[in-house]
Structure 1
Amino acid sequence: MRVDRVLGATAMSVATLFGGVVAAAPADAAREVALNGTYRVFSDGEWARRDEVLFDVPSETQTWTVNTSCVSPIECTGTVTSSLGWTGSARLDDFWFIEHDIPKWAPCPDGTFARAHQTFLIFGFDPVTEQRIVSTDFLQGRNITKAPSGSCGRNAVLDFELPVRVERISR
């Protein structure tokens, strides 16, 4: 009996230490993290990096139609269709990962094209407090596009990384 009280008190102390009593997630919690609707996506080329060096590329705005479903507040999957003509996968794993392949991304000197994989790594963000939050209305993160080493005869990965802002425009 004394062991039960000690364990209970210890669990309560740990919960209090880390921000209060831990409660079970409500049934709606999975729905609250799902990305669904239409989003405006802006990739800022002014702050693009290539090989960790600032490299000015054109900025890009696109519209996404997102359809995801969640089995829990930390496990979601779905699809994203872009106004730029691609469809990709979406998954939640601490961050949202939106991914698709680009068959002809970079022109090579020999007239061929390098293929690439594009990943948008995004998370909910409060622009007022500038903190990461659970949000499906305003997100930010990185737009990362990489061609494998050896593309276009270059013995290195060809990649660009841009800051990205994602804002819901309709449900």
Structure 2
Amino acid sequence: MKRPATTPRLLTVSTCTLLLLVTCATRAGADPSDDEFALNGTFFAVSDGQYAKTNDRFHDEATVTSTWTITTDCADFEDCTGTVRSDQGWTADIQYAGRLWKVVRDLPDWEHCPDGSTAPGTQKYTFALDDNYPPNVLVGFDRTVGPSGACGVNQWLDVAMPFTLTKTRP
């Protein structure tokens, strides 16, 4: 007897679904207190100004280096939150969402206008592990955006730089 054309496809989907459920159940069943998913320790942070883009055009900016102390707690492999403390004097929340770590902070006087006034900016770091780097290095972007209309210009200022975070000690 000939099998219907859909049988292999359904079998494949069922097999993949089963594998996904087993994988998720194994990871979700892990004890969150073992810090398997948490990002904790001291890190060397680099926002590489050499490859910065301002409003989507390459434009050299100053490279910024700092030391971050990160403390996170995870309920499971998808739900992690915590705090970043930088040696530059700021503290911000960190969360894991959509396979990326995210740190967002407000910069009150970020953009300096020709008339001497300033405008705020929102800085967002997004980073993750990358198979092309050693396991102690996370890579992503440092992006800061100011409001449209700041300094009398009807466009926001958007500065993005490649970002690396290297663990220096637990």
* TM-score range relative to shorter protein: 0.7 to 0.9
What is the Cα deviation at residue 31 of structure 1?
Answer: 1.9
Unaligned runs of 5+ in 1: 1-8, 130-134
2:95 is equivalent to residue 87 of structure 1? no
Percent identity for Structure 1 against Structure 2: 35
Match of 1:141 in 2: 140
Q: After superposition, where does 1:8-157 map in structure 2 within 5 Å? A: 13-15=15-17, 22=23, 23-25=25-27, 26-28=29-31, 31-94=35-98, 95-128=100-133, 137-157=136-156
1:146-166 CA deviation, whole Å, 9 max, x = no partner?
111111111111110000010
User: Structure 2: how far apart are the matches of 1:37 and 1:120?
Assistant: 17
Pair 11,56 (structure 1): closer, same or farther in 2 beyond 3 Å: closer
TM-score, length of structure 2 as denominator length: 0.82
**Per the alignment, in what secondary structure is the counterpart of residue 126 of structure 2?**
strand
User: Structure 2: how far apart are the matches of 1:39 and 1:149?
Assistant: 33
Unaligned runs of 5+ in 2: 1-10
Q: Is the 8 A contact 1:39 1:166 kept in 2?
A: yes
User: Structure 1: how far apart are the matches of 2:131 and 2:43?
Assistant: 16
Pair 11,54 (structure 1): closer, same or farther in 2 beyond 3 Å: closer
1:42-101 CA deviation, whole Å, 9 max, x = no partner?
111111011111011111111111111111100111111111111111010021001111
TM-score, length of structure 1 as denominator length: 0.81
What is the Cα deviation at residue 123 of structure 1?
Answer: 0.4
Pair 128,99 (structure 1): closer, same or farther in 2 beyond 3 Å: closer
Q: Is the 8 A contact 1:12 1:21 kept in 2?
A: no
Q: Is the 8 A contact 1:70 1:76 kept in 2?
A: yes
User: Structure 1: how far apart are the matches of 2:12 and 2:49?
Assistant: 51
**Per the alignment, in what secondary structure is the counterpart of residue 106 of structure 2?**
strand
**Per the alignment, in what secondary structure is the counterpart of residue 76 of structure 1?**
strand
- Further displaced range: 29-38 or 138-147: 29-38
RMSD, aligned α-carbons: 2.4
Match of 1:161 in 2: 160
Q: Is the 8 A contact 1:126 1:138 kept in 2?
A: no
User: Structure 2: how far apart are the matches of 1:147 and 1:128?
Assistant: 31
What is the Cα deviation at residue 142 of structure 1?
Answer: 0.5
Q: Is the 8 A contact 1:47 1:54 kept in 2?
A: yes
